[in-house]
Structure 1
């Protein structure tokens, strides 16, 4: 069969609350974000494993409250104008992954935390780990991080995992067989990266082999350790 090509859809992420799947794994985070502007000293750290919706919720919060979005790991940019940011809602993404040379280094993060709660300002930080586990060479920053209020998103449950799979397939332009979702969820690790890796593997195999995305293809491609008794 000739090789098939699936055109990428290139749809921008829909970072809004309406497209976010609420479940017991993220209700604490939702409640904490909705408590703004009553955050303690105007600060909140939103933490959780990769792919569980931190950026989705954080960008929705930033859009709703006209916050300045700062990617902590950005390099090669001019230093932040802290005076211009004073009194503004701020979102700092991937604050736990910053390093020397990034736009948000230890000293900058220290000042951003201190600015929160002053003149109406506030600060939302995202990271995979709780702030108490973030590296900090500056002693005063260490104490600030340890004191940050934390909202957690846990590993995905079935509701969230199915949503991750569905959005992954939609982004790839795939309409899988309906019974593929429960089949995958019963076998995949409970993590969003694992779900998206499965989608990518099935997408590639479907194109290379000219096959539909279904349980038979998943069994052949994802090595679940079962006998291939179906086509």
Structure 2
């Protein structure tokens, strides 16, 4: 069986062409990449860990020259807001940000009609927000959700993850993984990492016996 070989040099590729679009994430992809402004100029992208939220946010960044803001820098952008004209991205919110600076950032984006993309694993209804004004605003934000992975997305993610590790995988091994791994984004991530570590430790390619060993099958 011929090997599928990849030549990615980056540890993790966030290129637009590497984002696999299937029914599981089509709606989220369409929302993030649409050219027309969102309602309230704000969008919340919800999805499980490792579901591609940061990848989608990076695609948005490149499309619209957006700026990633770290939660610890919210105060800086609040104080220097008027010097920035590009859209903002606040990745992995869930909710650890300082509430008052976030409220001012949100209000500033609405006032200046500047787009703000937020990403999180859960909906604001599950966050313990103390400021009533912030809670009401976050609850009103339009949101889109990345759903559980379908077969096509699992296959695409497996290929991308192995590519990121510059690993070769046969169609036989890929087909076996599709029917035996945990069908979650975290499960895919952990499986690929375990196979990479085993391949390095044993100086072996990713073979069916190695896969069965790692999966305890």
- Do the two structures share a fold, i.e. TM-score over 0.5? yes
Aligned to 2:5: none
Q: Would you say the 8 A contact 2:199–2:205 is kept in 1?
A: yes
Aligned to 1:79: 75
Quote how far apart the aligned CAs of 1:36 are.
4.4
Asked whether 1:67 is paired with 2:66, we answer: yes
- CA radius of gyration, larger in: 1
Quote how far apart the aligned CAs of 1:57 are.
0.9
State the Cα deviation string for residues 197-226 of structure 1 (Å, max 9, x = none).
1122222222333333111111112113xx
Aligned to 1:44: 43
Quote how far apart the aligned CAs of 1:70 are.
0.9
More RCO (CA 8 Å, sep 6+): 2
Give 1:139-158 correspondences, 5 Å limit: 139-158=132-151
Choose the corresponding residue for 1:160, options 129, 150, 153: 153
Could you list the runs of 4 or more consecutive aligned residues of structure 1 that deviate by over 6 angstroms after TM superposition?
none
- Indicate how the Cα distance of structure 1 residues 105 and 10 shifts in structure 2: closer, same or farther if over 3 A, else same: farther
State the Cα deviation string for residues 47-104 of structure 1 (Å, max 9, x = none).
11111111111111112211121122x4xx6832325334531100111142xxxxx4
CA distance in 2, matches of 1:210, 1:83: 53
Q: Would you say the 8 A contact 1:90–1:122 is kept in 2?
A: yes
Q: Give the unaligned 5+ runs of structure 1.
A: 1-8, 99-103, 225-231
CA distance in 2, matches of 1:94, 1:36: 23
State the Cα deviation string for residues 133-187 of structure 1 (Å, max 9, x = none).
2221111111111111001111111111112211222222221222111101101
Q: Would you say the 8 A contact 1:96–1:135 is kept in 2?
A: no
Aligned to 2:190: 197
CA distance in 1, matches of 2:206, 2:11: 24
Aligned to 1:217: 210
Aligned to 2:93: 95
Give 1:4-23 correspondences, 5 Å limit: 11=10, 13-23=12-22
CA distance in 1, matches of 2:70, 2:31: 21
Aligned residues: 208
Quote how far apart the aligned CAs of 1:132 are.
2.2
Quote how far apart the aligned CAs of 1:12 are.
5.2
RMSD: 2.0
CA distance in 1, matches of 2:78, 2:95: 21
- Indicate how the Cα distance of structure 1 residues 79 and 38 shifts in structure 2: closer, same or farther if over 3 A, else same: closer
State the TM-score, normalized to the length of structure 2: 0.87
Quote how far apart the aligned CAs of 1:20 are.
1.0
Q: Would you say the 8 A contact 2:24–2:148 is kept in 1?
A: yes
CA distance in 2, matches of 1:17, 1:49: 20
